[in-house]
Amino acid sequence: MGAAESIVEFLELDVPALPNGNTKLDANQAVTIQAEHLEVFSPDGTKLVGPVSFTLDANQATALVGPSGAGKTSLINAILAFCLTKVH
């Protein structure tokens, strides 16, 4: 449940005024996320995920499945961190 809770927290963040004047991200806005050859590394340089390519289509449910330790949470955290840098 950790990654799901992170996504909810991300969507509830106060952000600087967006081009439309809002200060909250709109959880109802359709956004497609696409990555090609994405790799995720730990701060010490250890590769955690990848390379992986994917498209998360707007308005579609996507399941991220795999065994424990496969990098699911690391991938979600990387996507959220990227989104945060684009917002701020």
- For 61-87, the pLDDT digits (tens) are 888 899 998 888 888 888 877 765 554
DSSP tag of 58: T
Reported confidence tier of residue 31, pLDDT bands at 50, 70, 90 = confident
DSSP tag of 53: E
- Cβ atoms 74, 40 nearer than 8 A: yes
Residue 72 parent element (H or E): helix 72-87
pTM of full prediction above 0.75: no
Distance, CA of 14 to CA of 54 (rounded, Å): 28
